[in-house]
Structure 1
Amino acid sequence: MALRQRTALLLRRTRLCAETAGYRRMTTKRRHREVVPDEEVQVFSGIQPTGIPHLGNYLGVIKMWVRLQEQYHNIMYSVVDLHAITVRQDPSELRENIFKMVACLLACGIDPEKSVLFLQSQVRQHTELCWILGCITTNARLGLLPQWKEKSKDNTKTPSVGLYTYPVLQAADILLYKSTHIPIGEDQKQHLALCEDLAISFNNKFGKVFRVPQILYSETARIKSLRHPEYKMSKSDKSPKGRIDLTDSNEDISAKIKMAVTDFTSQISYDRANRPGVTNLIDIHAACTGETPEKICETYSSLTTAEYKALLADIVISEIQPIRERILWLLSDKSHLQSVLNQGQEVASVIAEDTMKDVRRLVGFI
């Protein structure tokens, strides 16, 4: 489909979503939420360019993104570089990380013909809407959000204003495209609650523009660190042995899984409270193959933990190896990655500007 035709189709669907929402004033979030037909679903999600994603990112978020683009027609995915600079970044490293993230998303199966993939900073309306929403957000509301409270406890660093207000930018990211469904992790639930509040507040103060978005949770269990299974797998893990990156070699994947913390019981079993290490390995297995933990335990009940780790390493390698090869190939042609972002920016900007025309008029701008 030609880019102009595709943009026009997305724009018509976005306007239809807004028009069918109705204009009744309501008092609770539940009453604001709608049953949205599949053809009107507008999905938005973003990911920060913090380097190569790890296995937890892929299994918990990116695989879900790929599935959603097969299920719905209106999909917007953004590399949210404005969020990345809430903490200090090296400019050259940030640029490289943007390309790495785009390459990883494409390698994992994000299709620019099915999803609009764009760079947040290239669509100026994100920051414009953020300012307007910030003017109806209170300090008290922002101060209650968990990430700010967590970061501000660290007395060795002074958190930035950007870190304090980034949930408002996050709300702007979502509302700018009149999104109806947002795939997020549990740790972002309170930030989406702010987004809901701002959508309702703006609609009630100025007039109906935004729909109240609904959460799409991943069905995949949260993948934990291989070295510290009480914590989630993370790029900030002090030990790189605790995570598997999408560009890890087959040998590195095998070694990391072999060294994964388990316990002294040889047989595998699924028990999150008492056997978190083994349970985490089973969760990885289930996320890679689609099997249930119960089925996995039944099928491989005769294996020792060591034997199961070897089996799991082969499963993860078969999942990651083709992705790794595509990432390296894509990174060899950054002009192609830039063209994907340019195409996405063109489509996203048209939809964003259509929303902002309504917002500016209702707020009172000329």
Structure 2
Amino acid sequence: MSTPVIGVLGASGAVGRAAVRELRALGRTGLRLGGRTASALCAVAGEDPGGHDESVWADATAPDGLRAFTEGCDIVLNCVGPTYRLRATVAAAALAAGAHCVDVAGDDPAAEDLLKDGDPAREGRTVVLSAGALPGLSSLLPRWLAGQGLDTATALSAHCGGLETCSPTVARDLMLSLTSGGADGAAYGEALAAVRGGRRVPRALRTAEDTEHPAFPGRVALQPYLSGESERLAHVLGLDRLDWYNVHPGPAVRALLNRLPASLAAGDDPAALADRLILAADLDLAGRTPYYVMDFALSGTASGQPATAGLTLRAASSYRLTAAVGALSVDAVLRGAVPAGVHFACDVLDPRVVVRHLRSRGAAELRLTGTATAGSGPAGADADADVDMDVEEGVL
């Protein structure tokens, strides 16, 4: 059986380079590395000289170059953006070349574009979207947590954020997310909204500009934000309540984000604002160690009694987390573990596999806490092998 050709588009970027390493760790070799800078691609290929990787010039905004890159691939991993401008551009090119596709982003706009043009399942092709840290891991971890001793789950509180560099792609996507990124042409999410009674309720929460949270060092700002992914998560877990907070430890980034809606309304150039966001992130990071945290607190019942389960993930980089989820999605598709069609990664990846991979690769530290007894749930039997345990006595 021949080795499948895996095309990694954006292989020299922050996510792409890490994704190449994750794919190699999963035993995937002979990669096709795509990007716009030959020297950078050669440097990535040179990290594994025995892997026989191929470097190919490719630009997601150049149809001919994109077509040449995808031709002959069995699957394409897209690590380039801006996501909400490209939408399904890369996935469509991969499908036209007869290849599967995994996109570390894509989200609802890409799914809508793909299904509008006909379900790829008809041709036996698979597309996995939102295969990153957020969205992606942000829904996979709570699903894993729900299996750690809880019989039922009723409420989830999530706090995600950190202190790290801001890539140009992330900066541009943040600008676009204010007016796109969600389903049916809506914005990616809604500030201050939360889930109550199993449905979205606007302005249910308030921002805290200067506070503390035990999972984060120092003072932080907490911005309530409900995305479509979070709403789907609440539905899947059967939650009555869900509170989601984006956490901003850096004052420069937070100050710019506070001014962002007014700046855009005043006609400021989004590209210039994106550059300012990159600079603000660098200012906040100066002299400090980068980190990224995902903290989840889930409540429900265990053995008929009220119980809690908590999970805190700490990593040096959200970009590496995104790379890991993307690589695991590629591996799952090639193993035939994902059916044909268009899917979000959180719906088709096994959360247990993801958790084990993050810990075994040293991509993140994970700590499980709570009053539920790990091992009693459907995924809890191997919890000790997955995360550090700190189970509290009794029930709340």
Please indicate the TM-score interval, normalised by the length of the shorter structure.
0.3 to 0.5
TM-score for both structures, normalised by structure 1: 0.32
Structure (1/2) with the larger helix percentage: 1
TM-score for both structures, normalised by structure 2: 0.30
